[in-house]
Structure 1
Amino acid sequence: MSEDRTKGQAKDVIGSAKETIGKAIGDKETERSGRADQAEGKVQKGVGKIKDALRDDDGK
């Protein structure tokens, strides 16, 4: 598994936590930041999946 997938997953989880905390304390900026982190994490995980697929194709 590529490093991008791992880092992306971490960003997604951290973003989810930030969004939840932002909602709990009524901080819209933290909420938005959490959603942005989640989106960035999802994109990075996608990049990692593509890299893994390409690497797997090269090995055949």
Structure 2
Amino acid sequence: MYNIGDLVIYSAHGICKINDICEKTVSGITRSYYVLNPMDNKHHLTISIPVNNDKVAIIDLI
């Protein structure tokens, strides 16, 4: 599990910072989500990814 402030590589968005970990309810299901912001955030994009999601690859930045 990642922590707030960690830098990760996410999909085609590249290097992202985890700005928050929060609970959201979607379709009646409440889960924890990482809230990511790409470091090259020209469009002020915010991405929410379920913490326990094996379909989306988040890679450690080394």
TM-score in same-fold range (> 0.5): no
- Higher CA-based Rg: 1
Task: Say which structure, 1 or 2, has more relative contact order (CA 8 Å, 6+ apart).
Answer: 1
Report the structure, 1 or 2, having the larger helix content.
Answer: 1
